[in-house]
Amino acid sequence: MFQQNLAVCYEELGTVVAAERKLQEALDAYEQSLKIRQTLTGHNKSDLVMQRELSVGYKKVGDALTAQGDLADALTDYRFAFAISENLASQDSSNVDWQNNAAWSRYCIAKTLIRVKDGDRNEAKRLIFEGIDIITRLEHRGTLSSDAQDTLNKLNELAAAFTSLSSKH
């Protein structure tokens, strides 16, 4: 419990210093949070709440690396978050948070692939539309949260930008 609270404190510190554009400090704080979560998850892999927290930790590190322009390493962290979120989403299709997290992970990877020189555009396109499909299923079931709506909006924006970018090439 204390270690999880410490991980949350590091994450919150990272968010504060990221807002101040202290990118290296933010990355350092997010990495500390992630290390704690990795240790906690290693002790109990069946704790699905900690698994989700671990995926969030990877996403935060990916975000910090993206802000620093280190897209290749950000992509690695986003892929770790994706693997965890996929596992969670496959265990419970009715869990809106886990489904949204799976769609958001796709968004992060796709957005990064579009920005990376020689990024796999086909993978980016596939991930965008898989993410849209996940959120659309939530919408059809009437379980669309405001976070999931935000994810859908971002995915639709990315799809439009991708289509525009593709038509220029």
Q: Which two tokens stand for residue 70?
A: 């280190």
Host domain of residue 47: 1-70
What pLDDT shows up at residue 144? Answer: 85
Residues 52 and 99 in one domain: no
- Segment-wise mean pLDDT, segments of 10 residues, the chain, 169 residues: 90 96 97 95 84 95 96 97 95 92 96 90 94 94 90 94 67
**CA pair distance 122, 107, nearest whole angstrom:** 14
Q: Is residue 76 in a domain?
A: no
Q: Which two tokens stand for residue 58?
A: 């990877």
What pLDDT shows up at residue 46? Answer: 85
Residues 51 and 103 in one domain: no
Residues 61 and 2 in one domain: yes
Q: Is residue 77 in a domain?
A: no
Phi, then psi, of 142 in degrees rounded to 5: 75, 25
CATH of the domain at 33: 1.20.58
Residues 98 and 62 in one domain: no
What pLDDT shows up at residue 168? Answer: 57
**Radius of gyration from C-alpha coordinates of the chain:** 16
Q: Is residue 84 in a domain?
A: no
The DSSP symbol for 135 reads H
Q: Is residue 107 in a domain?
A: yes
Q: Is residue 129 in a domain?
A: yes
What pLDDT shows up at residue 42? Answer: 86
Residues 50 and 96 in one domain: no
What pLDDT shows up at residue 33? Answer: 97
Q: How many domains does the chain have?
A: 2
**CA pair distance 11, 107, nearest whole angstrom:** 21
What pLDDT shows up at residue 93? Answer: 87
Residues 98 and 66 in one domain: no
Residues 103 and 161 in one domain: yes
Phi, then psi, of 120 in degrees rounded to 5: -75, 100
**CA pair distance 77, 91, nearest whole angstrom:** 22
108 CB neighbour count, 10 Å cutoff: 25
Residues 111 and 151 in one domain: yes
pTM of the model: 0.91
